[in-house]
Structure 1
């Protein structure tokens, strides 16, 4: 593994383009807009240079509805149809485990690249371009494209914008550089208003019932985190009975608004006694060590992990680690 830069990645991908090579781009499980947007933006750019590109994410979950509308969907292939090319690029995966069963394709590649912004990422490629100072992986992909001399078009810019706006909470916690990037992408022609509506403000009517049920059972522990407070909610299979998995992703951004709690947690059921846990903090609590203690990772104020067992035990394990 070698710590790399955007220019290192660009040089490798430019050689692939010059040699009429082929590249596999791998997104992480339970894909969000940053991993898919980054993957499709990079894929569209390479496709435009004549590279044979395939973009994939591990199942079993399907791609969220809004992300199916992003440009570049022609490049997506199902895991069963993934060829596995000589160059493999992982985008926005904080660890090789986040690639699920697709990690075999990453490991088998002649050249492997990691592009990511998670502070917890240990590096797992031949070239690791990891920058925790970036708000999203899409920003890092843009740096690579700039170093390659790729001219942005509206399709590439739209994919990058999706990753940027979601990972900054619609720019609520964006760094100044992210706002400059957003302006650049909008200048190319991205429909910012339309994509904000698709990504943040569109839900099926049944989502209201799920939110009501989950928030009505939310719990507040004022004594947790040394008295700074913990608020948590559970999204079980019953609550999600008529909804797709991505509709639970918005819950943590509602729960985290509780004024009495520094830390928010949402436990989402993904199987029989199997859970993913989303964590958010406001100011003082660094979530990375907590998530790592449970086999996960992420950022200082936004992390996550997976756990298994009865929900009471899963909650208790988190509370013991705070």
Structure 2
């Protein structure tokens, strides 16, 4: 890892004439919010900025409402730049085909908060103790001397409120950041509702069908308990992928299970697996053994094949 401070990264960005900012595949509010906040600040300093993420999934509708979304270009349109920044990506694989654009750029930067990230850039600002990447981007903006405008603060708030589960598992420092962001002009009630409590009506039928698949194994994880549920491709038809992601927050409320796993089928036979734990189980080694990564209490990975086989492989890894 080429560990770097926020001040060192700010120095690289300070006079960069053009910057390409890359979010991870299946972008969430932290990766997009971080990218747009950084992008708007750099554009305000006169830099040419483009933000992108690898397909094939489209950006969820709620995230398209964030300020600065006009900076986003299709992945095929993103080009190498004097500086390229990957935000909230635990591995270079998480930025998919845009890894080629990243590698071809002059200086590469990674800003991330995943404890599983071992670094893959020329400069790596990685802090597994941070609640979200947005907090680290704020540190860089402060080092740049950038103004915390309402639009920039809103993008940072999007990452903070979602990655802390509306502050349910936030560290004390995150409440201080939230106060600063709302003081800068964030409409916290509006964005909390849009990002956390807004689904299409069809989501209710999908959740009903998915919860019918839920199974509990109280003997799994050394007696800590495991709850699993499956979201197949048919159930996800016509919905943003983030609507499927939200199911894990429902299943994880089962008090008999420390670990929750939700298997989401992106295309037939291809699964994205979200893992959550409450207090007893470290998910990082489990996710790593299956080709993924993440945090102690929230991790994920991808797999292929019949769902029964995919679930069995998880059980063997526990």
Same fold (TM over 0.5): yes
1:72 equivalent in structure 2: 68
Q: CA deviation at 1:110?
A: 1.1
2:41 equivalent in structure 1: 45
Distance 1:15 1:308 in 2: 44
Superposition map of 1:82-101 within 5 A = 82-101=78-97
Distance 2:269 2:57 in 1: 17
Aligned residues: CA RMSD: 0.7
The reply on whether 1:185 has 2:181 as its aligned counterpart is: yes
Distance 2:197 2:85 in 1: 31
Q: CA deviation at 1:182?
A: 0.3
Which residue of the other structure, out of 31, 47, 51, is the alignment partner of 1:35? 31
Preserved CA contact (<8 Å) 2:61 2:240 = no
2:13 equivalent in structure 1: 13
Q: CA deviation at 1:34?
A: 0.1
- Give SS of 1:170's match: coil
Give the length in aligned residue pairs. Answer: 318
Q: CA deviation at 1:272?
A: 2.1
2:4 equivalent in structure 1: 4
**Which deviations, in whole Å up to 9, do the C-alpha atoms of 1:71-113 show, x marking residues without a partner?**
0011110011112211000000000000011000111111000
Superposition map of 1:1-322 within 5 A = 1-16=1-16, 21-322=17-318
Distance 2:119 2:238 in 1: 38
Preserved CA contact (<8 Å) 2:21 2:85 = yes
Distance 1:83 1:303 in 2: 30
Distance 1:184 1:265 in 2: 35
Give the structure-1-normalised TM-score: 0.98
After TM superposition, the runs of 4+ consecutive aligned structure 1 residues lying more than 6 A away are none
Distance 1:104 1:83 in 2: 9
Q: CA deviation at 1:15?
A: 2.7
Q: CA deviation at 1:51?
A: 0.4
Distance 1:238 1:76 in 2: 29
Distance 1:165 1:244 in 2: 19
